[in-house]
Amino acid sequence: MNSFIKRCLLAALVLPALAATGQPAGDSIPAKPNELNINLQFMGRGESRYGGMMPEDDAVFGDEEETEQKTPTSNFLLGRTRLEIDYKRDWLEARVTPQHSGVWGQAGKGAFNLYETWVKMKAPFGLFAQVGRIALDYDDERIIGSDDWAMASSSHDVLRLGYEGHGHKAHVMLAYNQNADVLSTGGNAYYNGGQPYKTMQNLWYHYDFPKFPLGVSVLFMNIGMQNDPDAKERTWYQHLLGGYASFQPKRWKAEASYYHQFGHNEFGMKIDAWMMSTKLNFQPANYGFTVGYDYLSGDEYFAVPPSGAIGMSQHKVIKGFSTVYGSHHQFYGAMDFFYVSTYLFGFTPGLQNAYLNVNYKPIKGLNLSASYHYLAIATKLDQIDKSLGNEFELQGSYAITRDVIISLGGSFMKGTETMKKLKRSSNNNTLRWGWITLIVNPRIFSFKW
């Protein structure tokens, strides 16, 4: 265990003691009231998909006869129910959020789990310590986000230490995961667990400039991953370093980010990948527009080529950027063809995403928007054009009451032969998807004493 982790663990032990010193002492100073809030959230969504998301088989990449399959059509309903229980007093906060999610009619009737369960202790001078299962959201959620569109969403078993005050925010996150079934037999191999990593250490720093609408963040991640039991408990570490900036003068908002990945993947292969994004939004009145461009680097060959597939020369360095634990649905097109689902055989040729969005709010509570995405791979491949196609999206939402929101949308993608080959999507001119969502989120109990 290196000295940095030791210092962080020591801080975790010291902070609760500091927090206790911030409590009112004696009867002469009245304690701040305790507060208990219970919120209920129900989210139901119906979807209709036609095309895309094709199952993989053992066909050779690029073989037209083998890759041609019948275009699938699927209609289904999904649901999520959460009960968020929050307790607060001056130096202590705790949350427990049981959750049930799944597809209607699913075998086993879906999944029940604890989405969040944590305690947070605050100390003087802006210090805090938080430990438990936490939904992490940072910056624009491109790299670390709760991914709320997914029914189960994302949360992490983590210890978070931090400071917030005077425009500065600094967070340290530490995680270590283990399989319960190895406790009796010994060993530290971790695979097929509840988290995608064995260990994780993150450092995030954010600064808001005084009297100037600029905020800047820096993020460093160290992620330890293991492959399988045959890896003999070997942990490989991949790293991410980058930053995010947001400039928001009056009705304009400009955002930019850059991240570089290096280290090794879970198979021990070297990583050298990067991504950048820019976005500009202008909202002069009840209408506005957004333009942006994303670039994520890609590979020329398969990381671990399957037998008989293209790219039999295994490359020495992985150049395909991984978006790790972000809220992927917010980016790269609403149909989720990229970084939610994989390319053929897990191939990662990267992505270019140039987009335009127009929004309009005709009345209070009603939001309408239309988007266009031009999508292309980032890597030059032999005999394959870079263009993946064009995606068009329409969305609308209406707040019926403060606690009830209904939204719906539809997407259409005119794909190319490259899209067909890399995503196994036959009839690529008719890829479409529609959805409707109902969210009911009332506060059902609130009490102070």
**Contacts (Cβ under 8 Å, ≥6 apart) of 344:** 56, 61, 421, 422, 423, 424
Q: How confident is the model at residue 83 (pLDDT cuts 50, 70, 90)?
A: very high
- Whether pLDDT at 2 is above 70: no
Among 375, 344, 373, 279, smallest CA distance to 63 is for: 344
CB distance 101 to 83 below 8 Å: no
Q: Is 206 helix (H, G, I), strand (E, B) or coil?
A: strand
Euclidean distance between CA atoms 15 and 7, whole angstroms: 12
pLDDT for 51 equals 67
pLDDT for 184 equals 57
pLDDT for 60 equals 40
Kindly list the distances between the CA atom of residue 404 and the CA atoms of 78, 83, 252, 365, 439, in Å, as whole numbers in the listed order. Answer: 17, 16, 29, 11, 6
- Which tokens hold the place of 348? 């990662």
Q: For 294-319, how does the pLDDT look when each residue is reduced to its tens digit (9 = 90+)?
A: 999 998 866 554 444 444 456 678 99
Euclidean distance between CA atoms 17 and 121, whole angstroms: 10
Kindly list the distances between the CA atom of residue 427 and the CA atoms of 28, 70, 404, 433, in Å, as whole numbers in the listed order. Answer: 76, 8, 38, 14
Phi, psi of 13 (to 5 degrees): -80, -30
pLDDT for 206 equals 98
Q: Is 372 helix (H, G, I), strand (E, B) or coil?
A: strand
Q: Is 362 helix (H, G, I), strand (E, B) or coil?
A: coil
pLDDT for 308 equals 40
Angle at 202 between CA 145 and CA 170, to 5 degrees: 90
Q: For 228-238, how does the pLDDT look when each residue is reduced to its tens digit (9 = 90+)?
A: 656 566 899 99
Among 282, 239, 240, 278, smallest CA distance to 257 is for: 278
CATH number of 36-83+96-107+177-197+212-448: 2.40.160.40
Residue 173 gets the label, from left (phi > 0), alpha (psi -120 to 50) or beta, of beta
Q: Output the average pLDDT for the chain.
A: 85
Q: How confident is the model at residue 259 (pLDDT cuts 50, 70, 90)?
A: very high
- Whether pLDDT at 4 is above 50: no
Q: How confident is the model at residue 172 (pLDDT cuts 50, 70, 90)?
A: very high
Lowest-confidence range among 19-33, 36-50, 135-149? 19-33
**Helix, strand, coil percentages for the chain (3-state, nearest 5):** 10, 50, 40
Among 201, 203, 183, 181, smallest CA distance to 192 is for: 181
Among 399, 359, 137, smallest CA distance to 253 is for: 359
Angle at 311 between CA 306 and CA 313, to 5 degrees: 100
pLDDT for 125 equals 92
Q: How confident is the model at residue 166 (pLDDT cuts 50, 70, 90)?
A: very high
pLDDT for 306 equals 40
pLDDT for 56 equals 44
Euclidean distance between CA atoms 142 and 277, whole angstroms: 10
Q: How confident is the model at residue 143 (pLDDT cuts 50, 70, 90)?
A: very high
pLDDT for 182 equals 65
With b for 16 or more beta-carbon neighbours within 10 A and e for fewer, the 86-103 pattern comes to bebbebbbbbbbebbbbe
Q: How confident is the model at residue 170 (pLDDT cuts 50, 70, 90)?
A: very high
pLDDT for 62 equals 45
State the pairing for strand pair 404-415/431-440: antiparallel
CB distance 367 to 353 below 8 Å: no
Query: What are the residue boundaries of the structural domains of the chain, listed by start?
Result: 36-83+96-107+177-197+212-448
Instruction: Give the DSSP letter string of 30-69.
Output: PPPPPEEEEEEEEEEEEEEEES--PPP-SPPTT-HHHH--
CB distance 182 to 173 below 8 Å: no
Euclidean distance between CA atoms 311 and 120, whole angstroms: 50
